[in-house]
Amino acid sequence: MSERDDLTAWLQLMLTEGVGSQTARELLGRFGLPDQILAAGFPALQKCVSEKIALALSSQPDAGMRAQIKKRWHGRIKQTTTCLHWPALIIPAHS
């Protein structure tokens, strides 16, 4: 997986409506990295999140999500892609 794909998976996870820091931590603990969460499939995801969140995470990003990801890529998070600590910038430790 390329660095861009890796960051895109993180962004898709964190930009999904209903996924906050706590839900993200729980999903990361259960499935691993965001690409593994997104590949887990609806039945597995529905066991630990709402149907709405499971459907969003198990589906391809819609146009709105793709636009948000593109905006983030061209914004401040793009500057952090070479930093080993960029996931911490997406999931604040204090949340």
Q: What span, in angstroms and rounded, lies between the C-alpha atoms of 48 and 38?
A: 13
Q: Which residues lie closer than 8 Å to 82 by C-beta, 6 or more apart? A: none
pTM of the prediction? 0.76
What would the pLDDT profile of 28-57 be if each residue is shown by its tens digit? 999 999 999 999 999 999 999 999 999 999
Q: How confident is the model at residue 13 (pLDDT cuts 50, 70, 90)?
A: very high
Angle between helices 3-15 and 21-31 (to 10 degrees): 130
Q: Which residues lie closer than 8 Å to 1 by C-beta, 6 or more apart? A: 9, 35
Q: Which residues lie closer than 8 Å to 88 by C-beta, 6 or more apart? A: none
